[in-house]
Homo-oligomer: A and B are copies of this chain.
Amino acid sequence: MTDSVGFIGLGIMGAPMVQNLLGAGFDVTVWNRTTSRTDAAAQAGATAADSPAAVAAASDVTISCVTASADVEGVLVGGDGLPPGAIVGVQAGSVVIDMSTISPAVTRDIAALLAEKNVQLLDAPISGGEQGAIDGTLSIMVGGDADALERVRPILDAMGGKITHCGPSGSGQTVKLCNQIAVSVNNFAMAEALVFCQASGVDPSTMLEAISAGAAGSWQISNLGQRIVDRDFAPGFKVGLQQKDLRLALEAADELHLPLAGTSMVHQLFAAVERESGPDVGTQALVNALEALAGVTVGGD
């Protein structure tokens, strides 16, 4: 018998993920903070519940996909002025999957609370962006109990392509933060190469063409380099969300007394970008901070 699935958080990522769950034949109960976003899911066959607790009560497996650590605590545990959290309704023996990107430490705290109810928490943050969510090709990095992962794997398969079991509770979050560290510093590498190229008077598109396939290559260069030259700063991934994730990485490192000199520098530069262009600009706008210091415009004259 197929598990019934609850889904909390119908944002840019959550909404298409629910569509993929419905498409795979799962019964899905949903809740979102702003109720207007539940309509599309309901039209596609999902059942709308009136609280996270109600979602959990109706589901064998409950998924949360919201933004920050406090949001996950809000929908899974609850809080002042919030509707009852999933923990209030959750069934003993069920599994909760948090697909948000949050602090590994907060993940472990919530896992401990749910364990008291005999509920397993898997942390399962995702990468692949909106397009990956629509296509059902997300990378899913899973921390927590291996048996629980096996149980919910068909559900994750409906949403993702690559599913990696990273280790015990919090490990998925740690790997996601590693991902964000590498993404951001690779982005910085691209930006610095482009600004140097432009300031040296060489055509940056030619440079990208010459170096992308070799040892200097990266997903960032292949996917975002030419967009910078074309002055296209529309978001694949937004600076405001990137900064949230870098904050998580830096805070986790701070607790470990671990220096992250590169990540920290990129976080500082993104601050200037967010001040100038707001949180919704694409992460490739990191180059704008370097351009401001260098007095050049990549792709300009």
A interface residue numbers (CB < 8 A to B): 104, 127-129, 139, 141, 162, 164-167, 171, 174-175, 177-186, 188-190, 192-197, 199-203, 206-207, 209-211, 213-221, 223, 237, 243, 247, 249, 252-254, 256-265, 267-269, 271-272, 274-276, 289-290, 292-296
Contacts of A192 in B (CB 8 A): 181-182, 185, 260-263
Most chain B CB inside 10 Å of its own CB: which residue of A201, A203, A257: A257
**A167 near B202 (CB under 8 angstroms)?**
yes
Known contacts A128-B214, A210-B162, A218-B186; decide if A264 and B262 are in contact (CB<8 Å). Answer: no
Task: A165 to B202: give the CA distance in the assembly, Å.
Answer: 11
**A206 near B167 (CB under 8 angstroms)?**
yes
Task: A219 to B182: give the CA distance in the assembly, Å.
Answer: 12
**A127 near B183 (CB under 8 angstroms)?**
no
Binding site secondary structure of chain A: helix
- For residue A279, give the distance in angstroms from its CB to the closest CB of chain B: 9
Known contacts A175-B197, A247-B254, A275-B295; decide if A262 and B189 are in contact (CB<8 Å). Answer: yes
- For residue A140, give the distance in angstroms from its CB to the closest CB of chain B: 9
- For residue A239, give the distance in angstroms from its CB to the closest CB of chain B: 10
**A258 near B218 (CB under 8 angstroms)?**
no
**A190 near B182 (CB under 8 angstroms)?**
yes
Task: A262 to B164: give the CA distance in the assembly, Å.
Answer: 31
18 A-B pairs in the complex with CB atoms less than 8 angstroms apart = A162-B213, A167-B202, A174-B201, A174-B207, A175-B210, A177-B196, A177-B200, A178-B211, A179-B214, A181-B192, A182-B190, A182-B192, A192-B261, A199-B256, A215-B219, A216-B219, A259-B272, A261-B265
Name which residue of chain B comes closest to A127, CB basis.
B214
**A293 near B272 (CB under 8 angstroms)?**
yes
**B220 near A215 (CB under 8 angstroms)?**
yes
**A166 near B295 (CB under 8 angstroms)?**
no
Contacts of A162 in B (CB 8 A): 210, 213-214
Task: A218 to B211: give the CA distance in the assembly, Å.
Answer: 12
Contacts of A275 in B (CB 8 A): 256-258, 294-295
- For residue A251, give the distance in angstroms from its CB to the closest CB of chain B: 9
